[in-house]
Amino acid sequence: MLLVGDVLGTGYHGAREGAVAPGATVAVLGAGPVGLCAIHCLRLFGAGRAIAVDPEPARRAAALKLGADTAIAPGDDLAAAVRAAADGHEVDVVIECSGAPAALLAAVDLVRPGGRISVIGNPGEHRELPLIEIFNKAATYTGGLARLDCLAELVELIDAGVLDLTPLITHRFGLEEIVDGFELFEARRDGVIKVGVVV
């Protein structure tokens, strides 16, 4: 229940805003805690294939545990790598979870004509969104902060064993070690994804 409010609710929001349909191929850009929750929620919407993209090996491994079919590192030709994971096609939905300007641009490149781009990573200042490419692809671009009207439903899904976020908590600290936990998390050392404080 610890992760329901922010990361799970936001990940769920990304999948819901992406209007993920049964059988859809979905790319999730950024497999941090929110992206991992988005990946984990894709099966609730019947996604046919989930492709996670993240530079960190530990996060790619976590993505596979939480439901991704493929986890790849971004490289010189991300579009080719994602299309290869999608049997040579552009994807139906891209959920952008990193907030990086390069990932926003990649989302437009990766989505199929008529597909959807759901942005839940905070882009901050971004002035390079290729609106004409979105227009020419007739893609739907949506994003924003999560509407947390789904929390009760998510709690029920956790209680029923449908959702299991335990792989996200990679490190546990006692209350007296909380500073060490924050430092580890801030530095992103030792494959950390989320830190749990045990009291």
Average pLDDT over the chain, rounded to an integer: 89
The percent of residues above 70 in pLDDT, for the chain, comes to: 97
Question: Which DSSP string corresponds to 18-77?
Answer: TTPPTT-EEEEE--SHHHHHHHHHHGGGT-SEEEEE-S-HHHHHHHHHTT-SEEE---TT
DSSP H or E run through 96? strand 91-96
Give tens-digit pLDDT for 130-172. 888 999 999 999 988 887 788 888 888 888 989 988 887 878 8
CATH of the domain at 116: 3.40.50.720
What does the pLDDT look like over 56-107, one tens digit per residue? 999 999 999 999 999 999 987 999 999 999 999 999 999 999 988 888 889 9
**In a domain? residue 157:** no
Handedness of CA 81, 60, 18, 42 (dihedral sign): positive
> Per-residue confidence at 127, pLDDT binned at 50, 70, 90?
low
> Residue 174 falls within a domain, yes or no?
yes
Query: Both 139 and 175 in a single domain?
Result: no
Q: What domain count does the chain have? A: 2
**Token pair 């494959």: residue:** 191
184 falls within a domain: yes
110 contact partners, CB below 8 Å, separation of at least 6: 27, 78, 79, 82, 83, 90, 91, 94
Q: List all residues 6 or more positions away from 28 whose beta carbon is below 8 Å from its beta carbon.
A: 14, 35, 38, 39, 42, 50, 51, 52, 53, 63, 68, 94, 95, 97
Mean pLDDT of the 6-33 span: 93
Host H or E run for residue 140: strand 140-143
Residues 137 and 178 in one domain: no
Strands 70-72 and 91-96: unpaired
Per the structure, the complete domain to which residue 128 belongs is given by 4-143
Verify that 112 and 171 share a domain, yes or no.
Answer: no
**Helix (H) or strand (E) run with residue 155 in it:** helix 151-159
β-strands 70-72, 49-53 pairing: parallel
Q: How far apart are CA 183 and CA 180, in angstroms?
A: 5
Q: At what angle do helices 33-42 and 9-17 cross, to 10 degrees?
A: 50
Residue 149 lies in a domain: no
pLDDT at 187: 81
Domain for residue 15, yes or no? Answer: yes
Looking at the fold, whether 42 and 114 belong to one and the same domain comes out as: yes
* pLDDT for the residue 182: 79
* Predicted confidence (pLDDT) at residue 1 exceeds the cutoff of 60: no
Do both 112 and 35 map to the same domain?
yes
On whether both 102 and 181 belong to a single domain, the answer is no
Q: Could you read off the pLDDT of 34-51 as tens digits, one per residue? A: 999 999 999 999 999 999
Judge if 23 and 68 occupy the same domain. yes
Residue 13 binned pLDDT confidence (cut-offs 50, 70, 90): very high
Residues 171 and 138 both lie in one domain: no
Identify which of 36, 42, 109 has the alpha carbon closest to the alpha carbon of residue 71. 36
